[in-house]
Amino acid sequence: MLAASLAHARPDPHDSVAVALRAGRYQAAYRLLQATADTADIATHRIRRAMCLLNLGQPQAADSLFASAPADGFQVPYRDYWQAIAWYRAGDQARAAKGFDRLSASPAPPVRDSSQVWALRCGLENGDSALTARALARLVGRSDDLAAVGWFARMRRASAAGDSAQWASAWLTLLERFPGTPEAYQAALLADSLGWRGKGTQLVALAQMYAGQGNPDLAARAWYQAIEDTELILRRPEMRARLAELLIGGRRYREAEGQITALLGDSTARNWWPATLRLYANLERKRNAETQSRHWEMQFVERFPEHEQVPDALWNVAMSWERVGNCAEAVKVYEQLAERYPSHPLAEAGRWRTGFCAYLAGRYSEAHRQFSRLARTTEDFALADQASYWSGLALHSADQLEEARLEWDRAAAYSPRSYYAVASAISAGRPIVPPEDERPLPRVVARPDTAWPGFIEARWLSSVGEWRWARSVLAQGTSGLATSVEDMEALADAFEAIADYSVSLRWRWRAMWRRTTEDRYHELPPDLLRRIWPDFFREEVTAAARENGIDPALVWAIIRQESIFDPDVTSQADARGLMQIVPSTGAALARQVGINEFTPTDLYDPCLNIRLGTKYVAQLLDRFKKIDLVAAAYNAGPSNAVRWQQTSGSNHDVLRETITYSETRRYVKLVLKNYLIYRSLYRERRERQP
């Protein structure tokens, strides 16, 4: 009965209250709710008001609303959970503890898991030994990472009681079974403060855990300790190599060189000499010592000619020659790579770079022959498009204009499957995407939203601002059910309906690849392409773009590449939200737009993130003028963009191929591709804007 009533009374996933709740703008959401009376769904209306009050520091008022909300079915455990939080925040911890203890057996997994943690917290804070014991037993008995919460609590209790044997046992359990959890990291810091000194494989596990948790300094310290441990003497070469790799990543080059030198001087480390030579080459490359880097790569190639990494080493040598402007030597190495490893992917990439070197030298006929041959023979569609585009460029530079147009026209037939196919379409004067079909593509849906297990519950959770739980519920309920194209599209619709655009887009992408083979990607009509390049957060993007005087297509292009429309994502560099802004940059941008009360968590607010990110893009565009340089600066920093601009001159086709960071080189092309596709797909909508 509940499902049936919600099926026709579900809140719109784009309604302003849900958007405000998801972004944490509780005051705005409450004002909107106060302006309307209780709706047909009284429970949802009151729970949403209560959620606002709970997060605005009014737990007593929230408690009253939770108590008056006539929840039914799956709503009940969620309402009871939030009410228990209200009791806790209002100071009634005994009542809250009972509530969380009861909800620890809830049939709703999000409520059950969170309540088990809250029950432990209440038991510890209230000195309730019975509740604490029950909570600990529940948590440490789990098989997933949530068990780490219980083990860490057990460790802290034992350390407070001075029971060294107990806390050490709990700590080692965390290290061995749950090394990837935040609790294990905190436990490691606690163990260190308590004077714990590991030995043997414990030190190896500790070093790996610290590295995984993003603390290279502590990881290096643990590796140093492991190297000195006599129990690990047989693993010393391996550990030196791991330490050297870590030190290179942390720019501690002198220390890294010491470890590498020790490896090369250790006759027992012969098995690690190939890796060591490559480490030395990488170290010198990081120090911009190109001659030394090439020396060590060639030492590796000559001493270990049968090693599987020889193609990669040759590639690095050739690219190094290119970076110092010696294309003749680079071509020799590329040819050596192609001759020795004709079927290796890098051999084909080397053939392209050989053509590129000929192009840079002004030998356009030679470049055309190289590119044209590769375009016909490679099975890599992206490389084929790249070779075709550059074949056209070589012909055009040789004043063979009609031949160039024909070359581009052939590659343009595959637009928009790659950046180069899109660029070929522009050069050939063809549309980037197929023309609109007068008859809209029929939307074949395998099942309605409400037929997916967990959808009704997830939709309701999204409407009250708990979109993370909504994602979890729907993902768990539908696991393994979408196997056909129709089901993939339908499941994408379901995730879009709960405003989880990132997961929705991933399902659309899967459906696209299932629908078409790689070489028929160009046959997708605009209706399907708009599902893969969607204009989510339309109001926020267009408003921010208008405020900063830039094309909204560029904002969507960056969002799609940075976060795949996930406002909650955080990178290893602590970049946050839709446009992946680091807190320091966010704070500076917030001041520029007149926001004084800024916190890093504000970057998870889609509206604010888009506004700040668009401001930054506009500043980069004002400075660099060209989209490719803006993308390079956004990804790798303005100083690198300036350096690449200076080395490539005014030729932006050359610029995109000479960016020294492979990640940035790829990023720039993907953002450009996104930008051009967005401009083409949404041209009519853009032209209708005032």
pLDDT in tens, 281-325: 999 999 999 999 999 999 999 999 999 999 999 999 999 999 999
Q: Is the pLDDT of residue 111 over 90?
A: yes
Residue 84: the pLDDT is 98
Residue 687: the pLDDT is 45
Mean pLDDT of the 387-412 span:
96
Interatomic CA distance for residues 652 and 615, integer angstroms: 24
pLDDT tens across 664-687, in order?
Answer: 999 999 999 999 999 999 975 544
Interatomic CA distance for residues 271 and 172, integer angstroms: 31
- Of the candidates 461, 392, 466, the one whose C-alpha atom is nearest the C-alpha of residue 428 is 392
- Of the candidates 290, 362, 302, the one whose C-alpha atom is nearest the C-alpha of residue 330 is 290
Residue 11: the pLDDT is 41
Residue 623: the pLDDT is 96
Residue 538's pLDDT band (cuts 50, 70, 90)? very high
pLDDT tens across 351-372, in order?
Answer: 999 999 999 999 999 999 999 9
Catalytic residue positions?
562
Residue 1: the pLDDT is 30
Mean pLDDT of the 603-617 span:
96
Residue 441's pLDDT band (cuts 50, 70, 90)? low
Mean pLDDT of the 504-517 span:
87
Q: Is the pLDDT of residue 114 over 90?
A: yes
3-state secondary structure 437-501: CCCCCCCCCCCCHHHCCCHHHHHHHHHCCCHHHHHHHHHHHHCCCCCCHHHHHHHHHHHHHCCCH
Q: Which residue did the predictor score with more confidence, 608 or 434?
A: 608
- DSSP lists the bridge partners of residue 576 as 570, 581
Mean pLDDT of the 216-243 span:
96
Of 108-117, 337-346, 407-416, 646-655, where does mean pLDDT reach its minimum? 646-655
Residue 522's pLDDT band (cuts 50, 70, 90)? low
CB of 389 closer than 8 Å to CB of 408: yes
b/e 549-570 (16+ beta carbons within 10 angstroms → b): ebbbbbbbbbbbbbbbbbbbbe
Interatomic CA distance for residues 636 and 613, integer angstroms: 15
- Number of Cβ within a 10 Å radius of residue 516: 16
Average pLDDT, the chain: 92
Q: Is the pLDDT of residue 515 over 90?
A: no
Residue 15: the pLDDT is 74
- Of the candidates 228, 592, 608, the one whose C-alpha atom is nearest the C-alpha of residue 600 is 608
Q: Is the pLDDT of residue 442 over 80?
A: no
Residue 29's pLDDT band (cuts 50, 70, 90)? very high
Tokens of 128: 């309730």
Tokens of 57: 């520091």
Mean pLDDT of the 514-540 span:
81
Q: Which residue did the predictor score with more confidence, 436 or 213?
A: 213
The pTM for the full model equals 0.90
Residue 10: the pLDDT is 39
Of 73-77, 115-119, 273-277, 444-448, where does mean pLDDT reach its minimum? 444-448
3-state secondary structure 581-640: ECHHHHHHHHHHCCCCCCCHHHHHCHHHHHHHHHHHHHHHHHHHCCHHHHHHHHHHCHHH
Residue 5's pLDDT band (cuts 50, 70, 90)? very low
Q: What percent of the chain has pLDDT over 90?
A: 85
